[in-house]
Amino acid sequence: MKVERFPVFAPVALGGIAGNMPATITTRAITIHMRRRRSDQTVEQFRQRRAERDARPIRQALSTWMASVADQVAEAAPGLPAGVVDRPAEIWEPLVAIADAAGGGWPERARQACAHFVLRSAQPVTNGVRLLADLRTIYDRHHATRLPTKALLADLTELDDAPWADLDGRGKQLDGRRLAAELARYGIAPIAFKDDTDTTVKGYVTYATTQTKSQKAQVGLADAWDRYLSAAEGDA
């Protein structure tokens, strides 16, 4: 069998209605929010043929310049603003490397833009992450390391501006099965323990537990909080 490699990278611009782009796209992209113009503002009509004509010499100049710095950019490992890690770092590293090669004011401008889009822009929060944040708020409020599922569901559905009391727009509340399914993705599972009345209940704990004959091992809520939430997110 012969393996042949193909360069498949291609920069793509996608347009859509704000808030409707799936996280699988937005977490792998630089999101630029556009606003509708005011009634007193005018914009020049866009004509593709003219834009292509005007852009042609710019595109040719950039192509020539990139060929001259391609090796430098390919080997670059530019420093990024503190806090830009993981997927955002993968997105921004090539752009900052190009800015460094361009010199002048571009290195600083690129890093300022990186910090703005990654660190200061609101990121979409998935239901799973929102659930973790709300659970941390509840556990902090109770100063607890374990709480029964029934109590958790009651507290979750009473949180202001939270989705748990109406998941589908028709009054469907979060239930124990959905809660377990959401938390299972983070390695968290309900376990049995004694409550304050010495009654055996099922619920969730902040610490890890090992496997027994009646229940499987799980990592505990604190593990997921450390991995998926910032220090301040539980207070949001």
Q: Are 25 and 14 in contact, with CB atoms under 8 Å apart?
A: yes
Q: What number is the average pLDDT over the span 201-210? A: 96
For residue 69, is pLDDT > 80? yes
Interior angle at CA 217, CA 215 and CA 218, nearest 5: 115
Residue 236 confidence (pLDDT): 41
For the segment 130-147, what is each residue's pLDDT rounded down to a tens digit?
999 999 999 999 999 999
- HSE-CB at 207 with a 13 A cutoff on CA atoms is 6
Residue 23 confidence (pLDDT): 78
170 compared with 190, residue with greater pLDDT: 190
For residue 213, is pLDDT > 90? no
Cα–Cα distance, 222 to 174 (Å, whole number)? 21
Taking the CA atoms of 114, 119, 124 and 125 in sequence, report the sign of the dihedral they define. Answer: positive
Helix ranges, the chain (H): 23-26, 48-75, 86-102, 106-119, 127-142, 149-158, 176-184, 221-228
For residue 8, is pLDDT > 80? yes
Residue 221 confidence (pLDDT): 97
Residue 232 confidence (pLDDT): 45
Mean pLDDT of the chain: 91
71 compared with 171, residue with greater pLDDT: 71
Percent of the chain with pLDDT strictly greater than 90:
67
Identify the band that residue 39 occupies on the pLDDT scale cut at 50, 70 and 90: confident
Q: Are 102 and 96 in contact, with CB atoms under 8 Å apart?
A: no
Q: What is the number of H-type helices and E-type strands within the chain?
A: 8, 3
Q: What number is the average pLDDT over the span 46-66? A: 96
Residue 231 confidence (pLDDT): 53
Block residue for tokens 């699988």: 24
Residue 235 confidence (pLDDT): 43
Q: What number is the average pLDDT over the span 206-213? A: 93
Domain residue limits, the chain: 17-32+62-124, 127-235
Percent of the chain with pLDDT strictly greater than 70:
95
For residue 208, is pLDDT > 50? yes
15 compared with 148, residue with greater pLDDT: 148
Interior angle at CA 76, CA 73 and CA 78, nearest 5: 120
- Structure token digits, residue 88: 């955002």
